[in-house]
Amino acid sequence: MHFPTLNKTRRAIALAFLSFSTFALAQGFPSRPVTIVVPFVAGSPTDVAARAFATDFSLALNTPVVIDNRPGANQTIAGGYVARSVPDGYTLFFANLPAVAPPSIQASLPYKGIRDFAAISDIMTIGFILVTSPDVPATSLKEFVALLKADPSKYAYGSSGISTPIHLMAEMFNKEIGIKTLHVPYKGGNQVQIDMMANRVTYAFLPTGSMEYVRAGKLKTFGVASEKRDPAYPDIPTMEEGGLRSFKATVRFVLVAPKQTPSDVVGKLNAAANKVLSSEAFYTRVKSVGGVEMSRPATPSQVAAQIAGEEAKWDALVKKAEIQLE
């Protein structure tokens, strides 16, 4: 026997209960500490930025904010953990874009891509610098490009792993100047630096924190890959000034939550994040990372659109450079 009226009643009750539960969650949020999951090790530029952000974010939310470092697998360990977490706003992902450089390069993922999260905040970008081994016989970007073009087979670039931002930046650079050089992937940026100083690899794109080695004569740099010169190193020209028109290699830091997080909770998190972004104190703490450009406060939908655009840009590069799936 069928009881259509009873089935409709049960569905209505279930929906009403779900709506009430969501409302109750949002009304009481936050009632306990919030965890920000960081996809890189403690002391990394991402970790430094996340901890600086967490300090003000905690004050804005009026609740403790804890950092949980889960490095490895090009952010997918951290991202997968957050994606599987209860979507209640208490577990967030402090991601770098490109994050996973999206499904076009990763054959299997615990989630489809960074767009499969609920966008909360676009926090900031950091610029990278083109760094080379100390014995490279060039004194400018123009001379270095000419050197690479003369015999690309003689040179290799280092990265922190396939499809990581450092890898994709170097591929973008190679495409821009029309060459193909050997890719040597490492487990982290520090190992790239060490082998570059020993002349085992020729070049890489690294955070501006590497400038300390340039100043010490252990590495060379031929340009900052951001829109403007870094105020901390005003004598280093941008890549565009060096002759590569419109060349930019930056990493965007974003805060996201599991996809099904209630919109009211996302709204509270977004409001708190925007309060942090409006604070000069946050920039003062985070500028030590180098090449920092703060983002403006934005709505969750605006942040989602920014994330989608950034991922699409890197996805197109992956296809154009024919980077193989893992």
Tens digit of each residue's pLDDT (9 = 90 or more) over 190-200:
899 999 999 99
Between the alpha carbon of residue 43 and those of residues 207, 209, 288, 289, the distances in Å are 13, 12, 12, 10
Question: In this structure, what are the phi and psi dihedrals at residue 205, rounded to the nearest 5 degrees?
Answer: -105, 120
Q: Give the pLDDT confidence score for residue 13 in this predicted structure.
A: 53
Whether residue 139 has pLDDT greater than 60:
yes
The SS3 assignment for 301 reads helix
pLDDT on residue 10: 56
At 9, the pLDDT band (50, 70, 90 cuts) reads low
Is residue 312 over pLDDT 70?
yes
What structural domains and CATH numbers belong to the chain?
Answer: 31-125+253-313 (3.40.190.150)
pLDDT digits (tens, 9 = 90+) for 163-221: 788 888 999 999 999 999 999 998 778 899 999 999 999 999 998 878 889 999 999 99
pLDDT number for residue 26 = 63
* Euclidean distance between CA atoms 242 and 196, whole angstroms: 22
Instruction: Determine the pLDDT at residue 115.
Output: 74
Residue 103 pLDDT greater than 60, yes or no: no
* pLDDT grade for 160, boundaries at 50, 70 and 90: confident
Query: For residue 302, what pLDDT band results from cuts at 50, 70 and 90?
Result: very high
According to DSSP, residue 216 is labeled: T
Q: Beta strands of the chain (E only): which ranges?
A: 34-38, 65-69, 91-97, 117-132, 156-159, 182-185, 203-207, 220-224, 250-258, 292-294
pLDDT at 253 over 50: yes
What distance in Å separates the CA atoms of residue 166 and residue 184, rounded to the nearest whole number? 11
Name the least confident of 70-79, 88-97, 103-112, 150-159.
103-112
HSE-up of residue 71 (Cα within 13 Å, Cβ side): 13
Taking a C-beta distance cutoff of 8 angstroms, is the pair 161, 186 a contact? yes
CA atoms within 13 A on the CB side of 322: 1
pLDDT at 20 over 60: no
CB-based contacts of 256, cutoff 8 Å, min separation 6: 82, 92, 93, 95, 114, 117, 118, 119, 120, 307
Q: Above 60 in pLDDT, residue 100?
A: no
Q: Output the pLDDT for position 291.
A: 81
Residue 292 is predicted with a pLDDT of: 86
**pTM of the model as a whole:** 0.84
Look at 85-89, 172-176, 210-214, 286-290 and tell me which has the smallest mean pLDDT.
Answer: 286-290
Instruction: Give pLDDT, residue 4.
Output: 53
> Distance between CA atoms of 80 and 256, rounded to whole angstroms?
12
